[in-house]
Amino acid sequence: MAYTGSDQTDPVSDLRYQGYLQGLNEASGRIIPWQVESGGSNEGGRAAVERLFIKDTLPTAFFCYNDDVAVGVRQGLFLR
């Protein structure tokens, strides 16, 4: 599962990332966390997906910072 967050100076994104990590640990200690910066925007969500597609292994799910990022991630996945 990949977390697509805002930029690294956003304290809200940091708190959401910590919650994401806590949820992964409580669900299963075996899941490796991924973090991809998205800038908190629709276009950033699409760009995050593009950056992930250059890797050999892709996430099976996305935890998005906000609805705009989620829409961008969805669009990026459908373009593939």
The predicted-structure confidence for 23-43, as pLDDT tens digits, reads as follows 888 887 677 778 888 888 999
Q: How many domains, the chain?
A: 1
Percent of the chain with pLDDT strictly greater than 90: 29
Mean of per-residue pLDDT scores for the chain = 86
The helix or strand, by DSSP H or E, that contains position 3, with its residue range, turns out to be strand 2-5
Enter the pTM of the model.
0.81
Backbone angles phi, psi at 61, to 5 degrees: -155, 160
Identify the domain containing residue 45 by its residue range. 2-79
68 has a pLDDT exceeding 90: yes
**pLDDT given for residue 69 in this prediction:** 93
Specify the DSSP element, H or E, that contains 37.
Answer: strand 34-37
More confident call, 79 vs 68: 68
CATH (domain of 18): 3.40.50.2300
